[in-house]
């Protein structure tokens, strides 16, 4: 896989040594057990896969290259390039300005731009309408387009099934940048509608079977369907694609639900299923799939707590939190500064959308066992900082250097 030129301050000597060792030990990526960092009284189990993915590293490389290649020019990002506060703050310090916030709210109007300006398209991609506006301004939308190739793969898949006469059902979060972009590209070729979860999928299914009157569709799916969408006609043939960072099990369950519904409703067989349901392979990105599978592997460990690191608005990170919460007390933090002491931690609650202060998060036992992972947009340096912060609480921070050497030697011996 391509190696990207990512600033060294996002790297981590410890994490790099661990990943190199695990890669040498497990070239086919079949072992999803965590890596044990044994500090004695503190044991940290690090997920097999976590951190920067291909699309994120690609986006970061392009963004820093844009700054280097365009001294003196105004450089803008359409919105957050990735969902990590530290990376976005670093881009701001480089002089890059945001045109929109993460929800699409305008910060700097597009009509204030000129053809001399540089605009970065984020890793999530953008809508066709915004691309068109930029082109009309004479702004290049290709050279500094950081759209993840796996997001573009979903667009291509939607285009393929659209040409075969299917409508597109997108499993995604309606307010997320990637879903907005995927919806725009899908709707350009076929009728499209978004479902956020199984509850909405079932509601949409009731329009397919006639259990719901079509007159209620516009209100039920307000803001989630393409222009001139006709549920009576456009739900007869469908294909499912997803926002690449959703839970794989959720997307599969939704696809299975629609497939079985179509089989029952239209009395289909294996030979006739294609008349009403597109045979789409899963469109989840490889990194999201690996990270989720690695968390499942990590959760087989008899641990005390889990810590998940990433931006609060990161979809892929939030799903890692959800997986951990099913089995363990889980703390979702953005960086090491949220570990206030051995007794207190500041963390984000996905359900209330607020930060909370928890006391006594580390049990009084020996050893304390912690599961640790991070989202696809979180720098490895932050993960090492968290390991450092936790090790300080137990007075064992000097062992980090020994662990780096240990894993480097093991990688060579493999």
**Please, are residues 17 and 408 in contact by the beta-carbon 8 Å criterion?**
yes
Q: How many angstroms separate the Cα of 39 from the Cα of each of 66, 292, 396?
A: 42, 26, 6
DSSP string, 331-371: EEESSGGGB-SSSEEEEEETTTTEEEEEE--S-SSSSEEEE
Q: How would you class 30 by CB atoms within 10 Å of its CB: exposed for 0-12, middle for 13-18, buried for 19 or more?
A: exposed
Count Cα neighbours of 368 within 13 Å in the Cβ-side half-sphere.
19
User: 218-225: long-range contacts at Cβ-Cβ below 8 A with a sequence spacing of 24 or more?
Assistant: 221/193, 221/194, 223/174, 224/174, 224/193, 224/194, 224/195, 225/191, 225/192, 225/193, 225/194
178 is catalytic: yes
Q: 222: which 2 tokens?
A: 């307000």
Q: Which position among 178, 200, 322, 384 bears the catalytic label?
A: 178
Q: How far is CA 261 from CA 67, 208, 265, 338, 365, in A?
A: 51, 9, 6, 46, 51
**Catalytic center residues:** 178
């Amino acid at each position: 896989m391509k190696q990207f030129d990512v600033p060294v301050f996002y790297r981590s000597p410890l994490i790099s040594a661990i990943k190199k060792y695990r890669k040498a030990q497990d070239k086919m990526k079949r072992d999803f057990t965590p890596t044990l960092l044994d500090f004695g009284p503190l044991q940290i189990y690090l997920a097999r896969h976590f951190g920067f993915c291909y699309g994120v590293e690609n986006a970061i490389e392009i963004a820093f290259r844009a700054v280097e290649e365009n001294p003196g020019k105004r450089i803008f990002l359409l919105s957050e390039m990735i969902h990590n506060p530290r990376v976005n703050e670093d881009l701001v310090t480089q002089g890059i300005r945001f045109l929109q916030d993460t929800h699409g709210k305008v910060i700097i109007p597009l009509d204030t731009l000129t053809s001399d300006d540089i605009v970065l398209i984020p890793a999530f991609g953008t809508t066709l309408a915004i691309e068109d506006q930029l082109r009309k301004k004479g702004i290049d939308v290709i050279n500094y387009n950081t759209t993840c190739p796996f997001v573009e793969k979903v667009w291509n898949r939607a285009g393929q099934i659209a040409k075969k006469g299917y409508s597109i059902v997108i499993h995604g979060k309606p307010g997320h940048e990637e879903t907005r972009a995927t919806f725009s590209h899908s709707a350009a070729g076929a009728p499209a509608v978004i479902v956020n979860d199984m509850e909405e999928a079932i509601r949409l299914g009731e329009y397919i079977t006639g259990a719901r009157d079509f007159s209620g569709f516009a209100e039920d799916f307000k803001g989630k369907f393409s222009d001139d969408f006709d549920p009576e006609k456009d739900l007869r043939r469908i294909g499912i694609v997803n926002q690449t960072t959703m839970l794989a099990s959720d997307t599969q369950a939704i696809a299975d639900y629609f497939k079985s519904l179509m089989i029952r409703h239209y009395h289909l067989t294996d030979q006739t299923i294609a008349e009403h349901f597109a045979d789409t392979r899963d469109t989840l990105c490889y990194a999201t799939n690996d990270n989720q599978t690695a968390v499942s592997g990590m959760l087989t460990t008899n641990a005390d707590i889990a810590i998940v690191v990433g931006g609060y608005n990161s979809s892929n990170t939030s799903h890692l939190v959800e997986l951990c919460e099913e089995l363990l007390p889980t703390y979702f933090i953005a960086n090491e500064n949220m570990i206030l002491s051995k007794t207190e931690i500041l963390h984000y609650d996905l359900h209330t959308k607020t930060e909370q202060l928890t006391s006594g998060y580390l049990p009084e036992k020996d050893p304390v066992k912690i599961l640790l992972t991070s989202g696809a947009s979180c720098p490895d340096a932050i993960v090492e900082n968290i390991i450092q912060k936790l090790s300080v609480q137990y007075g064992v921070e000097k062992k980090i250097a020994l662990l780096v050497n240990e894993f480097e030697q093991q990688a060579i011996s493999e």
